[in-house]
Chains A and B, each alone.
Chain A
Amino acid sequence: MAGQSFGPRPAPGKPEEDGRAACAACGKLLTSDEIGATRKFLGPRRTKFLCLSCLSAELGADPEKLREKIEDYRRMGCVYFSPGPPEERE
């Protein structure tokens, strides 16, 4: 079960658009969950991230299944997914 060391968590609240990373495949601006999901499912050392749709395609998985997994891992305390309420995670 991989995670990462202590460090700053993604700030709650919607970040400024120009400060957000973009999907390496389609260019969509990414949420902190999508960055976390890329690290979780494709490896902690990833520096290029994918949106949920492109990540699902890459993994051959249903996007809904990945959403479900993200919530499961968040509940279990995974450091890749910030624990705040949904409206604070975009």
Chain B
Amino acid sequence: MLIKTPPMGWNSWNTFGENINEDMIRETADAMVSTGLKDAGYEYLVIDDCWSEHGRDKDGRLVADHVKFPHGMKAVADYVHEKGLKFGMYSCAGTLTCARYPGSYEHEFIDAETFASWGVDYLKYDYCYHSPIVPGPYLYRRMGLALENCGRDILFSACSWGSDETHEWIKTTGADIWRSTGDIFDSWKSIRDLTQQQEKLHPFNGAGCFNDMDMLVTGMYGKGNVGIAGCDDVQYRTHFALWCFMQSPLMIGCDVRNMSDATKETLMNPGLISLDQDPAVRQPFRIAKWDGGYVDKVLVYARHLAHGELAVGLFNMDSEKARAQFNMDELALPESTGKTIEMHNVFSGETIMPQNGAVGRVLEPYACEVYRCRIVDL
């Protein structure tokens, strides 16, 4: 198994789309180091679609765009590696990529060899223009085998957006992570939809193949390729907290060369990152799902962590102030156990205790509170 916890890094798509080039990639690598992102755990720098020429070379190999990457991909990979980062690239299971560059269909082994020869450590593998008569599992298994036999450890990031019941077959393909949602856009509606889409797929997440809720939009403020409405910092913080709570890969999508202080603070919150990277890799479970009131407006999740700890997250998904509350027996800790929890807020550092067997908190619009909890005697 190549990874034991979800990968963390940066991907070019959300902000830059087709507007990529080697100078921007080098500056991004520099920024990942200088801003502290690398030290916080973000190690992959991934170039998404639109990096290649429109045709293969005479030997059938993919070729980097000569204008965008005049020194070739090996030189870019070497630069990224020199910074202590890992290098990722993109291809597609179809004849074309989503932006109509050459896809890897029936070129899987030669493309995997090419990526390995360039020093690629991560491959995002999309699902556009795939043959309607060749099933998805076959396409992803073939690339899975190609990567496992290319002579280099390359993380396999499957990106079929949950189509064709991906959850039923993705673990047969060798994929390390799989896109369990549609595409993200920089709007609160999108974040909320993806969170809801994910709920029924929590049982499929875990070590061996992590559910990928798509790249982060934190810090985009409506700009860039997937920027359509933008969010405020409270919404971005809740978005990031949800992705961490669900143990999704954390692939930053904003321009890390120009991050606001609030963006840095969110993306490098050590308490949230430690939840995302918790080695126990347990499934989250939803509690306090009221039917007389807030059902999907306020989400309360819990998750068992390593060393007997618990995480509890309270998320206000709505535009009005709301109360989130739950009873201790919903965490399997009724008074009869003689136990309760000591709740450490990962944002404020404040420690609180349940009162009379319950926890109730008032949340501002779109705000969240996330706690790492220790089991203690009553």
Contact = CB atoms under 8 A, between A and B. Distances in A.
A43 B182 contact: yes
A1 B128 contact: yes
Q: Which 10 A-B pairs give the minimum distances between C-beta atoms?
A: A77-B100, A3-B128, A43-B182, A61-B229, A1-B98, A60-B229, A2-B161, A61-B228, A2-B183, A76-B99
Interface string A49-89: 00000000011111001100100100011110000000000
Given A1-B48, A1-B126, A59-B189, A79 B98 contact: yes
A72 B225 contact: yes
Interface of B: 13, 17-18, 48-50, 94, 96, 98-100, 126-132, 159, 161, 163, 182-183, 185, 187-190, 193, 197, 222, 225, 228-229
Contacts of B48: 1
Contacts of A77: 96, 98-100
A5 B182 contact: no
B22 to A, nearest CB: 20
5 contacts: A3-B127, A6-B130, A60-B189, A76-B17, A78-B99
Given A42-B193, A44-B163, A61 B127 contact: no
Interface in A16-65: 40-45, 58-62, 65
Contacts of B17: 72, 76
Given A6-B94, A44-B161, A60-B229, 15 more contacts: A1-B49, A1-B99, A1-B126, A2-B98, A2-B127, A3-B128, A5-B94, A42-B193, A44-B163, A59-B228, A60-B189, A65-B228, A76-B50, A77-B100, A78-B98
B182 A6 contact: no
Contact of A60 (B13, B182, B188): B188
Contact of B190 (A3, A41, A45): A41
A57 B170 CA distance: 35
Nearest to B163: A44
B189 A3 contact: no
B94 A59 contact: no
Nearest to B17: A76
A86 B222 CA distance: 26
B163 to A, nearest CB: 7
Contact of A1 (B132, B163, B183): B183
Contacts of B127: 2-3, 5
A79 B128 contact: yes
A20 B25 CA distance: 44
